[in-house]
Amino acid sequence: AQSVTQLDSQVPVFEEAPVELRCNYSSSVSVYLFWYVQYPNQGLQLLLKYLSGSTLVKGINGFEAEFNKSQTSFHLRKPSVHISDTAEYFCAVRKETSGSRLTFGEGTQLTVNP
């Protein structure tokens, strides 16, 4: 079974500051890794994903994440945040097997203050 731990439930930052949202995972098999964003009362939108290849993955809205296999981490970063980045962020993993379920972390609420 897989598990995901998001180390920070809430991250408050000021506008234009850099941010890192931390995610660690546990799995006995190879997995795909994902970051999703959820705005209030909406579904999930994919920010980025790691499937294979380069460990630095770039996504939408200026976000990027780095896969670190030895530390089993997939931290999400953005060099300069905007007010509009305020949302809930979920890290998720899935086995590489077709049709496998996603396992989500508990989420991190990012609040960007002016």
Count other Cβ atoms within 10 Å, centred on residue 107. 18
Q: How far is the CB of 103 from another protein (least distance, A)?
A: 8
Total residues at interface with another protein (CB under 8 A): 23
Footprint of another protein on residues 19-48 (CB under 8 A)?
32, 36, 41-46
φ, ψ of residue 46 in degrees (nearest 5): -70, 125
**49 near another protein, judged by CB under 8 A:** yes
Whole-angstrom distance, CA of residue 68 vs CA of residue 66: 6
Cα of 108 vs its chain's centroid, Å = 9
Q: How far is the CB of 98 from another protein (least distance, A)?
A: 6
Q: How far is the CB of 27 from another protein (least distance, A)?
A: 16
